[in-house]
Amino acid sequence: MSNLSISEENYLKAIFHLYKHGEGIGTNAIARHLDTKPASVTEMLKKLADKKLLTYEKYQGVVPTRKGFTLALGVIRKHRLWEYFLVEKLKLKWDEVHEIAEQLEHIQSDLLVEQLDAYLGFPKLDPHGDPIPDKDGKMCAMNCCCVSEIKPNSNARIFGVKNHTSAFLKHLEKLNLTIGKTFTLVNRNDFDQSVELVLNKQTMHISKEVAENILVEKLK
């Protein structure tokens, strides 16, 4: 089987997350995402290309192959299952699990993953609203967008987050903006793209940065 190092798995995951249909992914983008240097990325891309996990041509950016895609999904599946476990079973908070899942996602054992999935009752979403790929890499399609994309005078329910850092999640908690909450977006300020919304009859303001990282489903 494909036995990948932790570094190789992290590169595949980054490439998966950066991939937009059609476009090749740049060395710089990968370096930024992994907090490493472009020179290191170039070397790794050559190695992953040798293993047929992506197609690489000098200066042309990179595109994952079917195989690379599948392996990335396997890592993401583990990440999200472990996050679900940590929150639902071990009672950690949603801002405490990402770092730990970054470690657990590299544990190698198909048996473990399948038993964990069954034990958790085959969950479809992780604690941040991200879909959990099943055994075959399939995951539920999502119909959601950022708060920064919805129009004034619309109702929305919080579906998930785009940023997984503890700092951001704690901030949301403090604002009472957690998954499942519904609100009305009343206004967007042209000046700084900040947003005014009403939650539980209380008016509140959130910055553009926060609005861009909250995912919602539009209501009615």
Partner DNA sequence: ATATTTTTTTAGGTGCGACTAAATTATATT
Partner DNA sequence: AATATAATTTAGTCGCACCTAAAAAAATAT
Which residues would be at the binding site for Mn ion (CB under 5 A)? 83, 98, 126, 128, 130, 164
**Residue 131 beta carbon to Mn ion: minimum distance, rounded to whole angstroms:** 10
Using CB distances below 5 to 8 A depending on partner kind, what does residue 164 bind out of Mn ion, a copy of itself, DNA, none?
A: Mn ion
CA 147 to chain centre: 16
3-state SS, residue 114: helix
In the chain, count of helices (H) and strands (E)? 8, 8
The torsion angles phi and psi of 180, rounded to 5 degrees, stand at 100, -25
Place of tokens 């909250």: 214
Q: Based on CB atoms, which residue is closest to DNA, 27 or 213?
A: 27
128 vs 188, beta carbon nearer a copy of itself: 128
Task: Find the part of the chain contacting a copy of itself (CB under 8 A) among 8-16, 111-119, 186-194, 203-211.
Answer: 111-119
Of 20, 91, 174, 220, the one binding a copy of itself (CB under 8 A) is 91
User: CA 9, 12, 13 angle in degrees (round to 5)?
Assistant: 85
Contact 75/13 with Cβ under 8 angstroms?
A: yes
Residues lying near DNA in the complex (CB under 7 A) are found at 5-8, 26-29, 35-47, 56, 58-61
Of the pair 90, 146, the CB lying nearest a copy of itself is at: 90
Please identify which residue in 30, 53, 75, 116 interacts with a copy of itself, judged by CB under 8 A.
Answer: 116
Query: Which one of DNA, a copy of itself, Mn ion, none is in contact with 43 (Cβ closer than 5 to 8 A by kind)?
Result: DNA
Nearer to DNA, 26 or 137 (CB): 26
Q: Does 90 bind a copy of itself (CB under 8 A)?
A: yes
What is the sign of the dihedral through the CA atoms of 165, 168, 171 and 175? negative
Angle between helices 27-34 and 38-50 (to 10 degrees): 110
Is residue 68 within 8 A of residue 47, CB to CB? The reply is no
